[in-house]
Structure 1
Amino acid sequence: MEATENHAGLDGLRVMVVDDSKTIRRTADSILSKAGCEVESAIDGFDALARIGAFDPDVVIIDILMPRLDGYQTTALIKNNDRFADTPIILLSSKDSIFDKARGRIVGASDYLTKPFNSDEILAAVERFAEGRPVADEGAMAG
């Protein structure tokens, strides 16, 4: 399955993937990179907070269950920073309850993706937030 053909609007999109699972980070990185995204991985919330300023992501994907600083806490801290208040955050979890989704919304998450995910699911989730980003193309310049 060739992801890049169906998801051409993701070229150059900067995505930060925060997960303590090396397998999840590698899988997400592989899928998103093949679709043209620039991917930065972080092993936990503290690592993400240390890297987010330099990377300046368009979208952040954060696992909920992580040691030290969980996904809810990390999301709240990112959203409390004026620079990243409007950055879409997709929470990633193996739990799919309405309570988990509601708690995610309360801390400022934009979407919720359940593990395990396939390439179409993660690309579609990221793509929902790529549409509103400013991109310098002929259509935008003709204005």
Structure 2
Amino acid sequence: MHEETRAGSLDGLRVMVIDDSKTIRRTAETLLRREGADVVTATDGFEALAKIVDQRPQIIFVGIMMPRLDGYQTCALIKNNQLFKQTPVIMLSSKDGLFDKARGRIVGSEQYVTKPFTREELLDAIHKHVNA
């Protein structure tokens, strides 16, 4: 086994998962908790923005298609905040189009992961953007 894939490789890492799909939130939360991460979830951008200041996540996964405040708007608001400007934001989407990926970059996201994602994709994104 590689050093990074052993159980507990994310010990204490604070991760936020924002998605209106209960399945996506639960899947990501289960996978990341198994690795030792401290996971906070939110159902949409408004709930996420209310929790983010208290929780101070070290990396944020955000779904794109959400009611009220979509993933692009949520990412832009996070990146416009001085406290969280440096926090990596990874977009989660079932759309895999070039336009969607470009739009994610424009609002400041670091990476784009297509749903359904695998454990490896989540872990790779974290290891790429967080010095855990």
TM-score bin (small chain)? over 0.9
Alignment partner, residue 125 of structure 2: 125
SS at the partner of 1:83? coil
Report the alpha carbon displacement of residue 7 of structure 1 after superposing the two structures with TM. 6.8
Gaps of 5+ in 1: 134-143
Deviation larger for 40-49 or 116-125: 116-125
- Contact kept in structure 1, 2:8 and 2:34, CA below 8 Å: no
- Contact kept in structure 2, 1:7 and 1:127, CA below 8 Å: no
Q: Structure 1 residues 35 and 70 mapped into 2: Cα distance closer, same or farther (>3 Å)?
A: same
SS at the partner of 2:113? strand
Alignment partner, residue 94 of structure 1: 94
Alignment partner, residue 55 of structure 1: 55
Report the alpha carbon displacement of residue 32 of structure 1 after superposing the two structures with TM. 0.3
What letter is aligned with 1:121?
A: E
Alignment partner, residue 115 of structure 1: 115
Report the alpha carbon displacement of residue 130 of structure 1 after superposing the two structures with TM. 1.9
Q: What do the CA deviations read for 1:85-141 (whole angstroms, capped 9, x no partner)?
A: 00000000000111111100000000000000111111111121222x6xxxxxxxx
Report the alpha carbon displacement of residue 4 of structure 1 after superposing the two structures with TM. 5.2
Report the alpha carbon displacement of residue 23 of structure 1 after superposing the two structures with TM. 0.6
TM-score by length of 2: 0.93
- Contact kept in structure 2, 1:4 and 1:36, CA below 8 Å: no
Q: Structure 1 residues 55 and 36 mapped into 2: Cα distance closer, same or farther (>3 Å)?
A: same
Report the alpha carbon displacement of residue 47 of structure 1 after superposing the two structures with TM. 0.3
Alignment partner, residue 16 of structure 2: 16
- In structure 2, how many angstroms separate the alpha carbons of the residues matched to 1:13 and 1:57? 8
TM-score by length of 1: 0.86
Is 1:78 the counterpart of 2:69 in the alignment?
no
- Contact kept in structure 2, 1:7 and 1:123, CA below 8 Å: no
The alignment yields a C-alpha RMSD, in angstroms, of: 1.5
Q: What do the CA deviations read for 1:46-74 (whole angstroms, capped 9, x no partner)?
A: 00000000000000000000000000000
Alignment partner, residue 5 of structure 1: 6
The structure with the largest helix share of the pair is: 1
Gaps of 5+ in 2: none
